[in-house]
Amino acid sequence: KTIYSHALSQLNNVITQYPSYTPDLHMTLTTHPNAVSGTRYKNTLSSALLCVLALVATVLLHSPAVSAATTSSERLCNQHSELCTRAYNDVSAVSTHASFATTDKTRPSVPGTQYKDIKGQLDDGVRGLHFNLTKGSTASSVQLCFPDCSVNNGGELVDTLKTVKSWLDSNTNDVVTIFLEGTSMDASPAYVTNAFTSAGIDKYALKGKPATWPTLGDMIDAGTRLVVFSESAAVASANTKGYFIPYAGNVLRLEGPYNYGAEWQCGPWDRSTETILLIPHYIVQTASYNGKAYTDMPYPFNLGTTNGYQFEYHAVTCRGGQSIWVNFMEVDFYDQGDVFTPTLKMNSLPYTGDDASNFYPKFFDADPDVPGF
């Protein structure tokens, strides 16, 4: 009877706190013929069953799944509570090269840089998107193409921005960054701003680079969950609302991309006021398409290595050399290999197989004139 009472008490605690983990157990106990007030609780089989139930209750109370349930209401920022108090430029994330340029993995009809679409990328944890801008099919539209529209035409910028906005609408605790790439384009820079306005995504945009980057939590509270960087100074200056932040003076984009077999590099070394570090980490090849040769076509081979230990090595090496945080590692085919575990490590977050190596120190300059020392 004592065992039964203990089992019932333990299970009631579990059922009350974690109903999703204990379906039908309460009904089983309360309707069991050997209830505490019954006369047959000494039955050997029933007692054994209740001992097992008591053990199950104890295990449930201490299991990782239930422990996680106790913090299910804890606030998350970019999927992790620890990141809520981190400044935007003290967070590492994966970004995707030519994010819109998708292709089929098994039967590619056109060359592409990613196997999953924009929504799939964001769902998986990608937080940086790179858009290559060019003139659209009409005078006032802007197109996303890689390497040009005759190869992989990703459609109009406004449509992709609507996809990103829809994702932000549904994921209210996440901060996303967009990189507008291309220093020269046929379309008027003003039309880029028009695309953001038409998509309705401009309401989420951070207005200009702040003197000090806010934390992810502060950005989420303020509703400014989108950061937009523009490689083109003309595109940035055409945005009168100030939410296109120019690369110049803000984003340090390291050398790249690379041909197969080339050594990963960490230059240039002439950093001045940049606080965001962007590292291209993907391999390109020369290939022909429609009779035209292109030198920067994706290289969809050896991705387990490129997006594996080489990804981690490249990030850590450049982090130590540049002495500012690695903010974005730009990759092709992000879902091949494992780019997320090293990113967790860079953010000092728990990961599968976590051990003492889960600590990448934040390097500081002893001599600001000599980066990395």
Instruction: Give the span between the Cα atoms of 264 and 326, in whole angstroms.
Output: 15
- For the whole prediction, is pTM greater than 0.85? no
Q: Are 284 and 258 in contact (CB under 8 A)?
A: yes
pLDDT digits (tens, 9 = 90+) for 80-117: 999 999 999 999 999 999 999 999 998 778 899 999 99
Q: Are 89 and 327 in contact (CB under 8 A)?
A: yes
Which H or E run includes 10? helix 2-17
Chain mean pLDDT for the chain: 81
**Of residues 299 and 273, which shows the higher confidence score?**
299
How do beta strands 142-146 and 251-253 pair?
unpaired
pLDDT digits (tens, 9 = 90+) for 195-204: 999 999 999 9
The CA–CA distances, whole Å, from 371 to 78, 263, 269 equal: 30, 20, 7
Does residue 62 have a pLDDT over 50?
Answer: no
Structure tokens at 240: 């009168």
pLDDT of residue 5: 54
Of 129, 130, 128, the C-alpha closest to 92 is 128
The CA–CA distances, whole Å, from 84 to 76, 207, 221 equal: 7, 20, 10
Confidence tier at 350 by pLDDT (50, 70, 90): confident
Does residue 288 have a pLDDT over 50?
Answer: yes
Structure tokens at 78: 């970019």
Give the bridge partners for 285, in sequence order.
297
Does residue 194 have a pLDDT over 90?
Answer: yes
Q: What's the burial of 348, exposed, middle or buried (CB within 10 Å: 0-12/13-18/19+)?
A: middle
Mean pLDDT of 138-143: 85
pLDDT of residue 19: 42
Structure tokens at 125: 């944890």
Does residue 231 have a pLDDT over 80?
Answer: yes
Q: Are 154 and 160 in contact (CB under 8 A)?
A: yes
- Rounded-to-5 percentages of helix, strand, coil across the chain: 35, 20, 45
Does residue 225 have a pLDDT over 90?
Answer: yes
pLDDT of residue 358: 57
pLDDT of residue 314: 93
Q: Angle at CA 344, nearest 5°, toward 342 and 348?
A: 115
- Of 220-224, 226-230, 234-238, where does mean pLDDT reach its minimum? 234-238
Instruction: Give the span between the Cα atoms of 115 and 100, in whole angstroms.
Output: 10
pLDDT of residue 356: 61
Q: Amino acid identity, residue 136? A: G
- Of 147-156, 202-211, 222-231, 319-328, where does mean pLDDT reach its minimum? 319-328
Instruction: Give the span between the Cα atoms of 97 and 121, in whole angstroms.
Output: 11
Angle between helices 2-17 and 44-62 (to 10 degrees): 40
